[in-house]
Amino acid sequence: MCGIVGYTGNRKVVPILLEGLRRLEYRGYDSAGLVYQSERKLVKFRAAGKLIHLEEAVDVAIGVASHTGLGHTRWATHGAPTLDNAHPHSDCTGELVVIHNGIIENYGSLKEELVAEGHFFSSETDTEVLAHLIEKYLENDLVAAVQKALARVEGSYALGVMWAKDPNKIVAARNQSPLVMGVDDEASYVASDVPALLPYTRKVIFLDDNELVVLEKGSYTIMEVDSGREISKKICTIDWNAAMAEKAGFKHFMLKEIFEQPQAILNTVSGRIIPDTGEVELPEISLSGEELCNIERIALVACGTSWHAALVAKYWIEKWVGIPVDVDIASEFRYRKLLMNERVLTLSISQSGETADTLAGIRLASSLGSKIVTICNVVGSTMTREADGIIYTHAGPEIGVASTKAFTGQLSALFMLTLYLGQVRQTMDREKLKELGAALIDVAGVIERILPQLQKDIQELIERYYDSRDFLFVGRGLNFPIALEGALKLKEISYIHAEGYAAGELKHGPIALIDKDMPVMALVPQDCVYQKTVSNVEEIKARQGRLLLIGTEGDTHLATLTDDVLYLPQVNEELNPLLYTIPAQLLSYEIANRRGCDVDQPRNLAKSVTVE
């Protein structure tokens, strides 16, 4: 939610800011802006809409010999996505600027106070109060003024501040919104997320809440916001590289990321599942065998696609480990009465590790005595720093706003965790562990093999579906969450209204929607609920629903039900969720692409949801 980037060093700043914003645009694309220091003045450019408009506006400034600046890409919370509301925001003098990610919750009362004192506002944003509040406290010391202003603020922020009278300096601070610094000998960087730094440095420092950093050319000072006490922090080296965050010849990041899934699965299990012995090694979980044996319940907490991964995990863990599992949407979990104690393990699932609701959920669970393990894709993200244990998915940077490879990475990690719990609690014997561990590795190979032809088959099919107004996705058992995921993918990138249902639930209401104009993608693998799912498909056919079936190779019965059948190889049925996700993703992608939608940056969305 909003991307921020800052640089001070020896190089020309405008291209660095633009490149950083390009890499952060997935965080928001309602408007963009930047500011750079020009002698003792600040020069500001802003544009409504996508980054391209800012790029056109700053064309003239690309070669400017300024070496310090800030950039911002906005996901609107307070105030429409207009030019006036685009960041950076200035104080009354225009000599001080602020960029911000987060929400200043008490901005209304602060604004009233500042207006009464004669400050003039030019936007509807909550951010602008920060600029005026810092101005109010500014005498000669920018850092002191920022500290005083932040002491008055309630809410979340990652912010960057520059003052024309204190040139070549950036002050940045964080509370509940992500902020990472990049360091090298000659320059200092700050950004919302690591991809913005990858072309320049892989040495980073993740800032925590109540931390402020003063960046100067090649040096930095980190301190606590409230006390001003200096602190030293560990420099981490990131193992992603800049090319991993490029499209590599694919039309969209989403398509590239769909094709990266076999590798993402293998990277996630590599070194953790030992194929010869069936052993699973997960030392990063940081819980002893005794602690794992004492768990009486598992609470899974996540949002969106990550929540769908949690729903699949409930089936796996309850079946193979015999521990009851609750699955919650984080925004609900955090506001309901939680029955938690030290015998409940809370597991958060998040690609970004920054999702505000999920973070709040684990903080709450932790305060009630629960141990926290997070399954996360972004190394060093807030969730990983707050959890007791971590299982990283090694899917690599996911840039497309619609999550794909992170999802199959999460499923792989959750399946591996199931095996690990089965091993530690001895609910699975060695042979079973070996069989299922091998099946997980196998499914990566199967997906790799089928992807190119499946894409071609779907490209042909979608001519009959791309202009639909509505779409249903149905599945049973392990594939019910995949139906939900298919519907989410389609609606978020193609704007077609779509719903996912448990196939057996249709007759309790949604079947009323079925007629000749209602496409239904049904997931019908030959698994333990196959006959039941086929009966549900028959019910749809009887009401003239337009069936698109995804089933197991060799299942000739499906072809008697509809002309549109896509066949997938038989894999161990526990792993069907990974396999059956692929046609749902490709269908959504191809339909959105055919409709000319902006696949990687769908309207109204942002990848990292750091506000509640």
Window 295-314: contact mask with ligand F6R (x via CB under 6 A):
--------xxxx--------
Window 590-609: contact mask with ligand F6R (x via CB under 6 A):
-------------------x
Using rule CB under 6 A, residue 374 touches ligand F6R: no
Nearer to ligand F6R, 547 or 584 (CB): 584
Q: Beta 565-568 vs 546-552: how paired, if at all?
A: parallel
Q: Which of 352, 412, 423, 585 binds ligand F6R (CB under 6 A)?
A: 352
Smallest gap, in angstroms, from Cβ of residue 305 to ligand F6R? 3
Q: Is 577 exposed, middle or buried (0-12, 13-18, 19+ CB in 10 A)?
A: buried
- CA distances for 107 relative to 78, 101, 110, 145, 149, angstroms: 10, 14, 5, 17, 12
Smallest gap, in angstroms, from Cβ of residue 499 to ligand F6R? 16
| Helices 405-424 & 304-320 angle (0-180, nearest 10) | 20
Measured distance between the N- and C-terminal CA atoms of the chain, rounded to whole angstroms? 11
* 480: nearest Cα among 245, 599, 308: 308
Using rule CB under 6 A, residue 268 touches ligand F6R: no
Nearer to ligand F6R, 507 or 603 (CB): 603
Q: Which of 19, 492, 564, 590 binds ligand F6R (CB under 6 A)?
A: 492
Q: Cα–Cα–Cα angle for 530, 501, 571, nearest 5°?
A: 35
DSSP 261-319: HHHHHHHHHTTTEETTTTEE--GGG---HHHHHT--EEEEEE-HHHHHHHHHHHHHHHH
Nearer to ligand F6R, 1 or 172 (CB): 1
- Per the annotation, the verdict on 236 as an active-site residue is no
Q: Which of 8, 355, 494, 533 binds ligand F6R (CB under 6 A)?
A: 355
Stretch that binds ligand F6R, among 28-36, 131-139, 352-360, 510-518 (CB under 6 A): 352-360
- Per the annotation, the verdict on 528 as an active-site residue is no
Residues 70, 351: Cα–Cα separation, whole Å: 26
Question: How many residues does the structure list for the chain?
Answer: 612
Using rule CB under 6 A, residue 173 touches ligand F6R: no
Collect all residues with Cβ–Cβ distance below 8 Å to 243 and sequence separation of at least 6: none
Using rule CB under 6 A, residue 101 touches ligand F6R: no
Using rule CB under 6 A, residue 73 touches ligand F6R: no
Using rule CB under 6 A, residue 182 touches ligand F6R: no
Helix residue spans in 39-164 (DSSP H): 51-58, 107-116, 128-137, 142-151
Residue of minimal CB distance from ligand F6R?
A: 304
Using rule CB under 6 A, residue 358 touches ligand F6R: yes
Using rule CB under 6 A, residue 379 touches ligand F6R: no
H or E element, residue 512: none
- The 10 Å CB-count burial string (b at 16+, else e) for 163-177 is bbebbebbbbbbbbb
Single out the catalytic residue among 169, 405, 491, 607.
607
Using rule CB under 6 A, residue 408 touches ligand F6R: no
The residues that are catalytic are 2, 607
| Residues binding ligand F6R (CB under 6 A) | 303-306, 350-352, 355, 358, 402-403, 488, 492, 609
